[in-house]
Amino acid sequence: MDVSKEENLDGTRLIEQIVILTGLPMTCVQKEISSILNQNGLNPHQLTLDEFRSAMLAYLETFQPDSIPLSKKN
């Protein structure tokens, strides 16, 4: 399933689909996503795909803070 083509995914359904698509243990992924959203001040019930992408980008940048930010790479 390509979640980027789903037009009727509310925040909760979007998160559910992302969790399923990871193929990882659901409880662990849900906790991590919840933490990431909280750190970015995002409401999981009103989450958009673009907001999720931005939150994930910020999350990934925390793993290599001294490198070039992922959002600035071409």
Q: pLDDT per residue over 29-65, tens digit each?
A: 999 999 999 999 999 999 999 999 999 999 998 887 6
Q: Would you call 70 helix, strand, or coil by DSSP?
A: helix
CA angle 8, 9, 10 (to 5 degrees): 110
Looking at the domain assignment, is residue 35 inside a domain? Answer: yes
- The number of distinct structural domains making up the chain is 1
Residue 69 is predicted with a pLDDT of 59
How remote is the C-alpha of 70 from its chain's centroid? 15
Looking at the domain assignment, is residue 8 inside a domain? Answer: no
Looking at the domain assignment, is residue 19 inside a domain? Answer: no
Looking at the domain assignment, is residue 20 inside a domain? Answer: no
Looking at the domain assignment, is residue 11 inside a domain? Answer: no
Biggest CA–CA distance in the chain, Å, is 38
Count CB neighbours of 26 within 10 A.
Answer: 12
- Residue 13 is given by DSSP the state H
Residue 64: give the domain boundaries: 25-74
